[in-house]
């Protein structure tokens, strides 16, 4: 199980560990769980630069307003439920890292706004 919190702005936040490569130092950061984002992870370009993530390419994206843009992608290693996974992340000019539903299959997300807590559980017999 992974635990998180709800901040004063109502954002559901989960703490994740990631790094540039298998040999680099791990950084822990709070990511905003965004169920409207169908990918895995979006990081602000400033954070990507700080972590020195290697560029892997680009992806076409459709924004909430329907406009299409091209976004750069980068690779990192994320610790996800105790397992290190190589992941391609999308860069943006936003202020917050976003965790999308691409990392949620086989998981149960609970957001408790009354007690300002978040829990993410692995569902037994579900895919990782």
- For the residues of 47-114, what is the DSSP string, one character each? HHHHHTPPEEEEEEEE-TTS-EEEEEEEEEEEEETTEEEEEEEEEES-SS-EE-GGG-TTEEEEEETT
Q: What is the pLDDT of residue 108?
A: 96
Spans of all domains in the chain: 12-116
pLDDT at 127 over 80: no
- Report the CATH fold assignment for 12-116: Cathepsin D, subunit A; domain 1 (2.40.70)
Span 53-105, pLDDT tens digits: 999 999 998 877 899 999 999 999 999 999 999 999 999 988 999 999 999 99
């Amino acid at each position: 199980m992974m635990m998180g919190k709800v901040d004063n702005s109502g954002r559901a936040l989960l703490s994740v560990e990631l790094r540039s490569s298998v040999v680099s130092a791990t950084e822990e950061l709070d990511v905003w769980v965004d169920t409207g984002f169908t990918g895995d992870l979006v990081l602000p370009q400033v954070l990507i630069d700080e972590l020195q993530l290697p560029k892997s390419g680009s992806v076409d994206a459709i924004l909430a307003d329907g406009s299409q843009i091209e976004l750069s992608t980068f690779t990192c290693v994320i610790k996800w439920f105790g397992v290190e996974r190589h992941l391609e992340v999308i860069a943006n000019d936003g202020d917050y890292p976003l965790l999308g539903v691409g990392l949620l299959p086989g998981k149960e997300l609970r957001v408790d706004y009354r007690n300002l807590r978040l829990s993410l559980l692995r569902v037994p017999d579900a895919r990782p």
